[in-house]
Amino acid sequence: MTDNSPAAEFSWPTTIDRPRFGVWAPVWGPFAAQNYPGDPFDASWDLNKRFVLEVERLGYDSTLVAQHNLNPNGHELPELEAWSTAAALAAITSRIEIIAAIKPYLFHPVFLAKIAAQIAEIADGRFAINLVNAWYKPELEKAGLTFAEHDDRYAYGDEWLSIVDRLVAGEHVTHQGENFTIDDYVIRPADPAVKPKVYLGGESEPARDLAAKRADAWFINGQPVEVVRELIDSVTSRPRTGDPVDFGLSAFVIARETEEEAAAELELFWKLANQDAETLEGVFANADPKAVMFETFRKFPHIGTNGGTAAGLVGTYDQVAQRLVEFYDLGIELFMLQFQPVEREARRFAEQVFPRVSALLERRAKVAS
Domain 20-368 in CATH 3.20.20.70? no
Q: What was the pLDDT predicted at 274?
A: 86
Q: What was the pLDDT predicted at 2?
A: 44
Asked whether the beta carbons of 30 and 38 are under 8 A apart, the reply is no
Q: How far apart are CA 66 and CA 82, in angstroms?
A: 6
Q: How far apart are CA 324 and CA 22, in angstroms?
A: 13
Q: How far apart are CA 196 and CA 102, in angstroms?
A: 13
> Which residues of the chain are modeled with pLDDT < 70?
1-6, 280, 282, 284, 292-294
Give the torsion sign (CA, 333, 233, 220, 227): negative
Asked whether the beta carbons of 59 and 10 are under 8 A apart, the reply is yes
Q: How far apart are CA 134 and CA 153, in angstroms?
A: 8
Q: What was the pLDDT predicted at 1?
A: 35
Give the angle subtended at the CA of 20 by the CAs of 33 and 321, to the nearest 5°: 65
Q: CB neighbours of 264 closer than 8 A, spacing ≥ 6?
A: none
- Give one DSSP letter per residue of 157-194, joined into a string: HHHHHHHHHHHHTT--EEEE-SS-EEEEE--SS--GGG
Beta strands (DSSP E) in 103-245 are 127-131, 173-176, 181-185, 197-201, 217-220
Q: What was the pLDDT predicted at 148?
A: 86
Beta-sheet pairing, 173-176 with 181-185: antiparallel
